[in-house]
Amino acid sequence: MSLPKFSTLPLDLSPLPGEASSHDLPSFIHGLPGIAPFHRGTEPVIDAARPWLIRECAAPLAGETIIALSVEDEIPVLLPAGSGPVLISGLALREAGASPDLELAWTLAAALDALKAGVDPDQTAARLSVVWTIGPDYFSEVARLRAGRLLWAEAVAALGARAPRSLALDVHGVAPASSVSRATLAAMAAGSGQVRSLHLAGTTDATGRMPATLQQIAQRELGLNRVLDPWGGSRHVEALTDGLIARARAHIAEVAAAGGLAKAAGSGLLRRRVSEATEQDRADQGR
């Protein structure tokens, strides 16, 4: 799969909230359920040393490798030699009709397959990131990002990873928005869920800088990259997060029982689940 080259904009941005910023919180805040997806014990699973990158398109940075998952092809997740970052992309899954929870579960399942095949869990985990579609359904997308962090932290710890960096899930968001208003909602959802980087597709202006401008506003004026888990404790977001965690766990277990994501795709399991999700979406929308 050929992908275009691209670069990131050289902006002076604040890093994502991390351990240092969490120490500034009142002591009682650590007992709130909303903090859980971002912490293992007292350690937050957000990496403070890596800032929010504004991507110009959904393609690799220098030294990055993207593994694009498919619902039909038996694609094993093989890590290239070296120490470069590897992005496991679920974009094609969503384009094929997979629901957000399926994209969440299957990309994590692929990452866990790679982690199990690696020699050292900490070295392997530090290389892995996921690429997710970020839609305009604000609260659901925030909840999905939160759920993904918790599931990842639990899974890599169970596989023997010990470094705090290994517990931090890097999510690279791509928002295929058809208008500036939808792109704004997606950028706010991605920022509230605290992605590693964001690409706003399909939005531009005469200068070609509209996507970057929206992200700068989200960061510098709204301050979305300066708050740790802003929706933690919200009854609505916590309920959505719990629901996504439960569904994703069931999907991941199903893939594991099938022998891994590659075999699940080759057996037709992923295509069947996508068909079911499509039919359910049509029913929900009354079509």
pLDDT band at 257 (very low <50, low <70, confident <90, very high): very high
pLDDT band at 29 (very low <50, low <70, confident <90, very high): very low
Over pLDDT 90: what percentage of the chain? 18
pTM comes to 0.79
Minimum mean pLDDT range among 36-40, 92-96, 250-254, 273-277: 36-40
Look at residue 175 and tell me whether its pLDDT is greater than 80.
yes
User: What pLDDT sits at residue 246?
Assistant: 95
Residues 6+ apart with CB under 8 A from 224: 188, 191, 192, 194, 218, 230
Measure the CA–CA gap between 45 and 152, rounded to whole angstroms: 10
User: What pLDDT sits at residue 143?
Assistant: 93
DSSP helix, strand, coil percent of the chain (3-state; round to 5): 50, 10, 40
Q: Which residue has the higher pLDDT, 214 or 123?
A: 123
Determine the Cα angle at 169 with ends 163 and 173, to 5°: 155
Measured in Å, how far apart are the chain's first and last C-alpha atoms? 34
Look at residue 11 and tell me whether its pLDDT is greater than 70.
no
